[in-house]
Amino acid sequence: MSMRELDYILGPRVPKELLLKERNRFMIPTILLIIAASFLLISIFLPFWELELQAPQYPQGLHVKLYINKVAGDINEIDSLNHYIGMRSLTEAAPLERSLSIFMIVGIALLTFASVYIHNPLAFLLSIPAIFFPAIFLGDLFFWMYSFGTNLDPHAPLSNSVKPFVPPLLGEGYVGQFKTIAYWDIGLFMSIGASILILIGLYFHRKAYKPLIDSYFRANP
């Protein structure tokens, strides 16, 4: 591959003299994109979403914490309650997503990190998965909550006592005698923060490299 072909793929390189003269111009997008990629990697180990169930017989409430690849908390107790109304076990939700999630986030973070070395609009294309990841997560979560809450087993002991329901993604809801409170947790906030940092980083990325791209194509028509 020739240097010209490489320049078309990666974008023009920054002259050393310009880099020394205007270091901040090129460092700002680099730092923002690296921090965003780091946020995504760290979020793997943190909870994304939490649901609390409140009822008189549970004064401390029951809690479920949703990580990107697992469900934690009072799973056995909640599954026992769900069994009576005909809902499947929480551990059965999103099996494919949970098995691939870590690899997907690592891949998305690496694409974001790679965009640091791309000095043309391809950097935006590489960043698209990370920008939309929080929305995709919430959309997939809603899909599974809708699927579980509206497909109750009609033969369950208390199937007639609860109508089909969908817990909210955020805020309060009610299921029979239970009050549910949904929270967005730190992992989701970090992924949202990563999306915001990427958008800001891409803005500075364009300001930094578009003049170089324009100059390059004027010199190499």
- 37 within a domain of the structure (yes/no): no
| Statement: residue 95 has pLDDT above 90 | no
Q: What pLDDT was estimated at residue 55?
A: 80
- What is the count of structural domains for the chain? 1
- 75 within a domain of the structure (yes/no): yes
At 73, give phi and psi (nearest 5°). 115, -150
pLDDT tens-digit map of 11-44: 777 888 887 888 888 999 999 999 999 999 999 9
pLDDT tens-digit map of 129-164: 999 999 999 999 999 999 988 888 778 777 677 788
- The residue range of the domain holding 200 is 45-213
Q: What pLDDT was estimated at residue 193?
A: 98
- 209 within a domain of the structure (yes/no): yes
Q: What pLDDT was estimated at residue 104?
A: 95
- 132 within a domain of the structure (yes/no): yes
pLDDT tens-digit map of 177-207: 788 899 999 999 999 999 999 999 999 999 9
| Statement: residue 92 has pLDDT above 80 | yes
- 25 within a domain of the structure (yes/no): no
